[in-house]
């Protein structure tokens, strides 16, 4: 029994290291292709529009509900301690520093990473990628680089929009419950913010976007043959990108806390 457990553990560890190596090699190839001579600007702008526009409604709806729920859940406790006037500051800092970027990234991981993985996986299965290589087109630059750059640029914009909608939902609760005006609410939010609250949370959204794009493209571009491989690529893209998002978020928060203490 112990031998079976050890064999299973070593097998999973070997698969993990093998997958990590392939993903690292895929990322290095992306770096080389990104800084090569030619670049598909038109396709990159098209992918940015598609990936950002198609995710906007889901991000906005999730952010609005998040602002409502966060304020409704925190308001009774804050009122119990007589600190209801601190609700705008507390909600604003929570959304802008952590909840807004992370929720937006998780929504895009489920929406964008899966769609990229399924799209490139189906192209791999139907041999469209091989046909592009035969015709002299660089499929990696046209399919992978444009999508990774597109979602890397669009995720910060989606996060800004999501944060604004989330704060709007929070103000709606405060206006209904406590008759707080929009001017007063947002003035309290921005007065409580510092650069350390905004800069790290903005920078990490670029890393979030890169993770979502590179994982989705990797899983789709290297998917196995058959329709089962397409579904597996879409599913594994969501799982792997979500795990890496939490790891990256922990690293950024750890680094930002060190600078905050300084």
pLDDT in tens, 112-136: 999 998 888 888 888 888 888 788 7
Q: Is residue 11 part of a domain?
A: no
Q: Is residue 24 part of a domain?
A: no
Q: What is the pLDDT of residue 121?
A: 87
Is 56 in contact with 107 (CB distance < 8 Å)?
no
* Confidence grade of residue 175 (pLDDT, cut at 50, 70, 90): confident
Residue 195 has pLDDT above 70, yes or no: yes
Interval 193-197 mean pLDDT: 80
Residue 148 has pLDDT above 90, yes or no: yes
Q: What is the pLDDT of residue 1?
A: 65
Query: Which of 14, 162, 9 minimizes the C-alpha distance to 98?
Result: 162
Q: Is residue 194 part of a domain?
A: yes
Residue range of the domain that includes 169: 39-261
Total domain count, the chain = 1
* Buried-state track 61-98, b at ≥16 Cβ within 10 A, e below 16: ebbbebbbebbeebbeebeeeeebeebbbbbbbbbbbb
Burial of 4 (0-12, 13-18, 19+ CB in 10 A): exposed
> What's the predicted TM-score (pTM) here?
0.90
Q: Is residue 207 part of a domain?
A: yes
Least confident of 69-73, 80-84, 92-96: 80-84
Q: What is the pLDDT of residue 97?
A: 87
Residue 262 has pLDDT above 70, yes or no: no
Q: Is residue 209 part of a domain?
A: yes
Q: What is the pLDDT of residue 164?
A: 93
Q: What is the pLDDT of residue 261?
A: 61
Q: What is the pLDDT of residue 207?
A: 94
Q: What is the pLDDT of residue 178?
A: 76
Q: Is residue 208 part of a domain?
A: yes
Q: Is residue 155 part of a domain?
A: yes
Interval 65-72 mean pLDDT: 92
Residue 3 has pLDDT above 80, yes or no: no
Q: Is residue 31 part of a domain?
A: no
Interval 95-113 mean pLDDT: 91
**CA 185 – CA 192 distance, rounded (Å):** 11
């Amino acid at each position: 029994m112990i031998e079976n457990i050890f064999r299973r553990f070593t097998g999973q560890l070997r698969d993990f290291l093998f997958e990590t190596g392939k993903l690292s090699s895929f990322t290095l190839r992306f770096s080389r292709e990104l800084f090569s001579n030619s670049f598909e600007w038109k396709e990159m702008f098209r992918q940015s529009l598609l990936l950002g526009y198609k995710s906007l409604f889901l991000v906005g709806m999730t952010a609005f509900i998040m602002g409502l729920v966060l304020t409704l859940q925190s308001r009774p406790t804050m009122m119990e301690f007589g600190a209801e006037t601190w609700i705008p500051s507390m909600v604003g800092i929570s959304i802008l520093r952590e909840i807004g970027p992370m929720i937006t990234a998780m929504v895009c991981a489920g929406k964008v990473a899966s769609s990229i993985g399924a799209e490139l996986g189906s192209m791999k299965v139907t041999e469209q990628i091989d046909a592009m290589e035969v015709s002299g087109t660089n499929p990696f630059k046209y399919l992978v680089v444009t999508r990774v750059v597109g979602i890397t640029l669009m995720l910060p914009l989606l996060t800004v929009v999501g944060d604004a909608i989330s704060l709007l939902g929070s103000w709606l609760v405060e206006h209904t419950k406590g008759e707080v005006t929009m001017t007063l609410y947002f003035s309290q939010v921005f007065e409580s913010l510092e650069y350390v609250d905004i800069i790290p949370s903005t920078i990490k959204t670029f890393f979030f976007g890169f993770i979502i794009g590179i994982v989705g493209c990797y899983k789709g571009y290297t998917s196995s043959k058959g329709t089962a491989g397409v579904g597996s690529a879409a599913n594994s893209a969501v799982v792997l990108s979500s795990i890496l998002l939490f790891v990256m978020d922990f690293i950024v928060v750890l680094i930002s806390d060190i600078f905050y203490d300084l």
